Amino acid sequence: SSNEGPLPKPASADSGFMLSFPAMENPFTSDAFLLRILAWYLPKDEFEKAKQQFTQLGNEAISPQVMEWNANAEKQQPYVKAHNVWGQRYDYDKLVTAEGWKELGKWGARTGAIALGYEPEFGDYKRIVQYVQTYIYSPVSGLTSCPVAMTDGAARLLSQIIPSLPASHPFHDAYQRLIARTDAWTSGQWMTERAGGSDVQNTETWAKYSPLPEKTGPFGRIDEGDYLVSGFKFFSSATDADMTILLAKTESGKLSTFLAPLRKIIIDADGKERVVSNGVRIHRLKNKLGTKQLPTAELELKDMRAHLVGPLDQGIPTISHILNITRAHTFMASAAGWRRALSIAKSFAKARTTLDQPLWTLPLHLRTLAETETKLRGCLHLAFFTIALMGFSETSFPSTSPAAKYAPLPNAGHEAQVVLRTLTAVAKAVVSKNAVSGVQECMESMGGVGYIDEADEPEHNIARVFRDTNVNAIWEGTTNVLASEFVRHVLKKDNIEVFGAWLDRAIHTVENDVYRDVLDKSWKNLYRRLAGSKDRVPEALANGRRIMFSLAWIVIGLLLATDAQRDREGVAEEIARRWIVNGEPGVGEWKMPDVGEIGPHARFQEGEERAKW
C-alpha cells in the first residue's frame, strides 16, 4: 500500500552480509594444550629453546608464502612425462611436480622435519621436539609430510645399520643426506603390491644376487649394489624420491629389505657419464580421494640395482624400524590435521551469528566443539606419550624431565620396549580413526562452507583436511591390521604380563580415588581376558579392534588423570573427569562403537564381567 516505505536494500553479489573470518593464529603459541604437554616432557631450558624455534615456525606456517605454496601444490597436481615429442623415451620418466610441492619439501627439511630427530641439540628430547615440528608443519606441508615420514624411517633404519659398516660404505653418505637440512634426500618405502599390502608375503618382486664385476671401491657407490631387483610395486608415494627402501624375495623365497637409488650413473658410448633411471618405470599415477599433491604411482622395476639392508631373509623385522617411525608420523599428522580443523571450526563459531547470538554461545554447538576438543586432547596425550617413549628409548630415560616425576613412564629397557611397540600400533590406529570422525565434526560445524573445497584458500579449507585425513587410517597398516599386530604382540611370550605390570603400577599413581578406581577396574577386567587368551589367539584376534580401543581408552584416561594432578589446572581436571567418570568420549559417546562396555565406573561392579568380546 501507499504508506509503506521502501524495502531495505536487498543483498547483491557484492553487498549485504559478508562473514568476516578472523586471520589464522600462530598454531604453536595459540595452542595452550600443546604448550602444556611440552612443559610436561621438557625441562625448562629445553622448553624455552623449543618455544623460540616453534614460535618462528608457527609464524611461517601461517605466512602468505606457505599458503601460496599449499594452494599451488593442490592446484598443480603431479603428472608424468615419459616421452619427448618425437616419441623417444626419456632416460627416466619425468615426474612433474608443482613448485609449491618442491618448496614445501625444502621448507620442511630446513626447519628440521627430520634433522631435529638426529641432531644432538635437544639430546634426550630430540624426538619430542621433532614431532612438535611435525605437528605444526604437517597440516600446511602440502603432504610433503608423507615423504618426510618415510625418509625419517629410512634414516632411523640406517642409523641402526651403519655403526657396524666401514666408513667407505655408501650407507654412511646416504644417511647424512637423509638427515640434512639443505639439499636433502628423500626416501620411499615400497612394500605394497597387487597381491596385498597388509600381508606382504605374496610379494612378486624378486632380487637376484648379481654383483658388478668392478665397482668404484670395495663397497661401490649407492648405485652399485649387489642385487638386481625386478617386480611391480602397486603404491609408491615417494615417487620423486632420491632413494627407496623396498621389500623383495631372494632365491630362498623369503623377504629381505633392500635400498636402491632411483637413478644411476652410466658411462655412455662416448665415455661421458649419464644419469638414467635405475630400472624404475612409472606405470601410472593414481587418482585418489585426497593427497592430491602427492605423486602416488604404480612402478615397474626391471633390474633395479640395490643393496641388501640388514640380514638376508629378515625383511619384516628390518623394515619394521621404518614402520614404527612412519606410524608415529601418521598418528601425529592425524592429530595435527584434526587440531587445525578444530581451530578453523572454533574461529567460525566466533565469527558466525545465528538466532541473533554468536554461534559459540549456543549450548548445543558449544558442547559439540567441547566434546571434539576432549577427544582430541585425549588422542594428543596418547600421541605425545608414545613419542616420548620412542625418544627416551633411543637415548636414555631422563631424570631431568618433569615427566620423570609426573608422567607414568615405564621402566627403561625391556618394559619400555614392550610398552612402546604396543602403543605405537594402538596410537596409529586409534588416533587416525578418531581423527576422521573428529575432522568430519569440525567440517559439519561450519555448515555448507565446511564442505567447500577451495584450493586457493588453504587457510580455512576443512574439506581438504577431511580428504587427506582419511588416508591415515589406511596406509601404514589399516585399523584392523594394527589391531591384529597389537593382539599378536601382546600375546607373545610374557609381553602382556610386562605391559600389565607397567599399566597396573601407573594406574596406582593416580591420586584421585574415583579415577583410580575406574581405571583399575577397567584394566583388571581387560587384562584378565587378554592374559587368559594366550591359547585362544584367533578369538582374541577376532575381537582385536574392540580390545584395542578399550585399552586406548584406559591409557588415555591414565594420562589425562596424571596430567591433571600435576597442577590441578581447571581445564585439564574437567577433561579428565569427563573422560573417566562421565565416560563422555567413551561408551557410546566416543564415536568408536568398538569401545565396548569399558567405560564409566558405574558399569564396573566388583566381580561383574561386563566387557564382552
- The amino acid at residue 150 is M
Burial of 509 (0-12, 13-18, 19+ CB in 10 A): middle
By CB under 6 A, tell whether 486 contacts ligand FAD: no
Q: What's the rounded Cα separation, in Å, for the pair 132 and 112?
A: 10
- Say which entry of ligand FAD, ligand UCC, none residue 362 contacts (CB below 5 to 8 A, set by partner kind): none
By CB under 6 A, tell whether 97 contacts ligand FAD: no
Cβ–Cβ under 8 Å, residues 578 and 547: no
- Say which entry of ligand UCC, ligand FAD, none residue 63 contacts (CB below 5 to 8 A, set by partner kind): none
How far is CA 79 from its chain centroid? 26
Cβ–Cβ under 8 Å, residues 365 and 445: yes
By CB under 6 A, tell whether 320 contacts ligand FAD: no
- Say which entry of ligand UCC, ligand FAD, none residue 138 contacts (CB below 5 to 8 A, set by partner kind): ligand UCC
By CB under 6 A, tell whether 151 contacts ligand FAD: no
The closest alpha carbon to 222, from 305, 162, 282, 147, belongs to: 305
- Say which entry of ligand UCC, ligand FAD, none residue 217 contacts (CB below 5 to 8 A, set by partner kind): none
- Say which entry of ligand FAD, ligand UCC, none residue 196 contacts (CB below 5 to 8 A, set by partner kind): ligand FAD
Q: Phi and psi (nearest 5°) for 20?
A: -100, 115
Q: How far is the CB of 598 from ligand UCC (least distance, A)?
A: 25
By CB under 6 A, tell whether 145 contacts ligand UCC: yes
By CB under 6 A, tell whether 240 contacts ligand UCC: no
Q: What's the rounded Cα separation, in Å, for the pair 447 and 440?
A: 11
By CB under 6 A, tell whether 296 contacts ligand FAD: yes
Concatenating the DSSP letter of every residue in 12-55 gives: -SSSS----PPPPPPTTTT-HHHHHHHHHHS-HHHHHHHHHHHH
Q: How far is the CB of 568 from ligand FAD (least distance, A)?
A: 42
Question: In 3-state terms, what secondary structure has residue 158?
Answer: helix
By CB under 6 A, tell whether 288 contacts ligand FAD: yes
By CB under 6 A, tell whether 201 contacts ligand UCC: yes
Q: What's the rounded Cα separation, in Å, for the pair 374 and 382?
A: 13
Please select the residue that binds ligand FAD; options are 130, 145, 187, 237, rule is CB under 6 A: 237
Which CB sits closer to ligand UCC, 239 or 512? 239
Looking at residue 196, the DSSP 8-state letter turns out to be B
Cβ–Cβ under 8 Å, residues 249 and 329: no
Which CB sits closer to ligand UCC, 153 or 596? 153
- Say which entry of ligand UCC, ligand FAD, none residue 323 contacts (CB below 5 to 8 A, set by partner kind): ligand UCC
Question: Which residues from 280-339 bind ligand UCC, rule CB under 6 A?
Answer: 316-317, 320, 323-324, 326, 329-330, 333
Instruction: Say how many C-beta atoms besides its own lie within 10 A of residue 19's C-beta.
Output: 9
**What mask of x and - would describe binding to ligand UCC in positions 412 to 451, judged by CB under 6 A?**
---------x------------------------------
Looking at residue 6, the DSSP 8-state letter turns out to be P
Instruction: Say how many C-beta atoms besides its own lie within 10 A of residue 444's C-beta.
Output: 15
Instruction: Say how many C-beta atoms besides its own lie within 10 A of residue 16's C-beta.
Output: 10
- Enumerate binding residues for ligand UCC (CB under 6 A): 138, 145-146, 149-150, 189, 191-192, 197-198, 200-201, 237, 316-317, 320, 323-324, 326, 329-330, 333, 421, 475-477, 481, 485
Residues in contact with ligand FAD by CB under 6 A are 189-192, 196-199, 235-238, 288, 291, 296, 471, 474-475, 477-478, 480-481, 484
